[in-house]
Amino acid sequence: MKHFLRVVTQFFVFLYCKCLWRGLKFVVRKFTGRCELQRICYNNKHGARRTLKIESSLRYSKNELLQSALSVHPDKVEKTIDDIMALKKINPDTNPQLGISLQASLLQIVGYRSLVAEVEKLRREPYDCENPEHEEMLMKLWKELRPDTPLTGRISKQWCEIGFQGSDPKTDFRGMGLLGLHNLLYFAEHDKATALQMLHDSLQPKHNEVNKPEWEQKNLDKAIGYSFAIVGINITDLAYSLLVSGALKTHLYNVAPEMPSLLHFQQTFCYLMQEFHRFWIEEDPSDIMEFNRVRSKFHRRILRQLKNPDMALCPHFSASDLHLVNL
């Protein structure tokens, strides 16, 4: 019976999408004198609310030109908009704002696709200790986080002081490749005060009754709850999953006027790092073994926020020129 009801429901959904919805759009266009793209642009403010609807309209269109608009090169966006206006028989002279609105939204759409490709390329590039650029970035990370402590050697237990698991950090970058290193270094360079504070907090005893001399004789894994660098790589993975799943479109379409860039992604990473740090303290886990539970709960909270099309996870730290707003 359940299977039958499911089949019937799917049939009516199919019928609605293929017949009734297209018929309804035809009637609305005749009644208003505007096509669907015009109605979206005129009835929705700039940002995710408008761009997500335009993206959906283009994706589910039967017209090949409209479908292909989602994957055009950024340099071809202006011509594509002209072609869409011609296809829809819209006079650009009497509808000047429409072309501007469509162009801005289409740049956001193709920019998001480009950003996913750029981030994926960094994630797939493994850390290479024979690559001078990779090594230079790693050394910069140490200097930013431990400015007053010289590193005794490239292979050293000192790396544990900033939250790596062993003597050679390259093994910790396997999951996220260079993307993890790029994000950690960006955070340490562009919001140094916050990064240093988070690192300091992560190394503090869990309980106040443990004094510092006694604490310094204990293992680092008895700290307030996590290893800074490892958490940074985990939050990079979280930000990456939000990006590739499309969940981050809400945020990026609201904060990037046109094409989202790697800078926007890195700023979002910094925001997530700070928010996770606060969330971890609020959750007050008993030890590091609860990390996956807390991370999953934090992930779900961010996803709930991103379901609001007007939401922007705007960073409120010195690394960003954006303001904390809920648009």
Q: List per-block mean pLDDT (blocks of 10 residues) for the chain, which spans 327 residues.
A: 64 55 45 74 91 94 91 93 90 85 94 97 96 97 95 94 94 94 97 93 64 47 71 97 97 93 95 94 85 95 94 57 36
CA distance between the termini of the chain: 46
Domain boundary among 69, 102, 123: 123
Q: Rounded distance, CA 129 to CA 40, Å?
A: 51
Per-residue pLDDT at 225:
63
Domain boundary among 123, 143, 161: 123
Are 177 and 253 members of one domain? Answer: yes
Domain count, the chain: 3
69-72: long-range contacts, CB 8 A cutoff, minimum separation 24: 69/106, 70/109, 70/110, 70/113, 71/110, 71/113, 72/106, 72/110
Are 180 and 299 members of one domain? Answer: yes
Q: Rounded distance, CA 198 to CA 277, Å?
A: 7
Are 233 and 310 members of one domain? Answer: yes
Is 253 a domain residue? yes
- Name the CA dihedral angle for 199, 205, 207, 210, rounded to a multiple of 10 degrees: -150
**CA dihedral (206, 207, 208, 210) positive or negative:** negative
The whole model's pTM is what?
Answer: 0.82
Per-residue pLDDT at 96:
82
Are 78 and 133 members of one domain? Answer: no
Q: Rounded distance, CA 279 to CA 287, Å?
A: 14
Which residues, in sequence order, are bridge partners of residue 205? 223
Q: Rounded distance, CA 319 to CA 303, Å?
A: 23
DSSP string, 288-307: GGGHHHHHHHHHHHHHHHHT
Q: Rounded distance, CA 25 to CA 30, Å?
A: 9
Is 210 a domain residue? no
- Which range of residues forms the domain containing residue 73? 33-123
Are 24 and 41 members of one domain? Answer: no
Are 162 and 56 members of one domain? Answer: no
Is 188 a domain residue? yes
Closest to 88 measured CA to CA, from 97, 78, 98:
98
Are 22 and 150 members of one domain? Answer: no
Are 155 and 287 members of one domain? Answer: yes
117: amino acid identity, one letter: A
| CB within 8 Å of 128: residues ≥ 6 apart | 134
Are 184 and 119 members of one domain? Answer: no
